[in-house]
A = this chain, B = another copy of it.
Amino acid sequence: MSPKKVAFQGERGSFSEVAAKELVGNDIIPIHCETFEAVFELVESRRAILGVIPIENSLIGSIHKNYDLLLEHDLKVVGETQARVQHSLIALPNASLSRIKQVYSHPAALDQCRDFFKKHPRLEPVTYYDTAGAVKMLAEKKLDNTAAIARPYAAEIYKMKIMKKSIEDEKSNYTRFLLLGRTQPGFQGRAKTSIVFSMKNQPGVLFKALSVFALRDIDLTKIESRPVRKKAWQYNFYVDFAGSIKEQHVKKALDHLSEITHFIRILGSYPMRVVRD
């Protein structure tokens, strides 16, 4: 097999790149995108075979932008994985902590290292668009009084020094990623299915929707409501559940659901990734 072109958001060394290799294998041709939109567009236009997006973080919650993009684009979810978030303080190989004044990173990463900044009040956190991008910028500009917060993998890629490992406040911090493709693949083993639907704004509608799963003992693994654009305070519901659309009881449940929804779309059935801690 020749290496596959896989698109993801972020610079070389980004968390999505780590996830892409975990999902597809080390032998990929990585396509670095500036935005999540670009990931969807590249797969849709066949300039990439697959795309990888973060969808949910165990501390922060869902990455809403990507839920919206799943709806705007016509791609299939073909896989999932998760990885633990580890933040390191990274600087030039010759840097010393006593001379560091500013620390660049994505706002979410800065926010997850508050205890570190409390312990080092001399260090000023500065927001940057991307964690790995901050490491790249330090490496290119050779700023020796500046550090970045990113994953250890970013230090490796840009030949930088890890000054402090695991400076995140909360160690139980995982991000779940989805693999996107153009077609639904066949596979063996336990499956998970992701769907999105909307309902009329009437009492008890969500209860009715969930009944189609409960009546068939189908286990919901996630439910997420997202505002519908241009209709304030109306919601789309994103539901993940155990089972494949190829199974009879799942087909029946979705038939039943479509009787009571405004709109329903199956985002994909894919191999379920069992949680490791």
A: residues with CB less than 8 A from B are 57-62, 64, 107, 127, 129, 170, 172-174, 202-204, 206-208, 210-211, 213-214, 217-227, 229-233, 275, 277
**Do B232 and A174 touch (CB < 8 A)?**
yes
Closest to A57 in B: B227
For the complex, give the distance between the alpha carbons of A210 and B59 in Å. Answer: 25
Residues of B within 8 A of A217 (CB): 203-204
Closest to A231 in B: B172
Given A203-B218, A207-B210, A59 contacting B229 (CB threshold 8 A): yes
Residues of B within 8 A of A221 (CB): 233
Given A107-B107, A127-B127, A58 contacting B227 (CB threshold 8 A): yes
Given A207-B213, A217-B203, A224 contacting B227 (CB threshold 8 A): no
Residues of B within 8 A of A232 (CB): 58, 172-174, 275, 277
Taking the closest CB of chain B, its distance from the CB of A223, in whole angstroms, is 6
> Of the candidates B60, B174, B204, which one forms a contact with A214 in the assembled complex, judged by CB atoms under 8 Å apart?
B204
**Do B277 and A61 touch (CB < 8 A)?**
no
Residues of B within 8 A of A204 (CB): 210, 213-214, 217, 219
Residues of B within 8 A of A61 (CB): 62, 64, 225-227
Closest to A221 in B: B233
Residues of B within 8 A of A277 (CB): 232
Other 12 A-B pairs with CB < 8 A, given A174-B232, A207-B214: A58-B233, A61-B64, A107-B107, A127-B127, A170-B230, A172-B229, A172-B232, A202-B219, A203-B219, A204-B219, A206-B220, A207-B210
**Do B220 and A223 touch (CB < 8 A)?**
no
Residues of B within 8 A of A219 (CB): 202-204
A-B contact pairs, 19 of them (CB 8 A): A58-B227, A58-B232, A59-B227, A59-B229, A61-B62, A61-B64, A107-B107, A127-B129, A170-B230, A172-B231, A174-B232, A204-B219, A206-B210, A206-B220, A207-B213, A210-B210, A222-B225, A223-B223, A223-B225
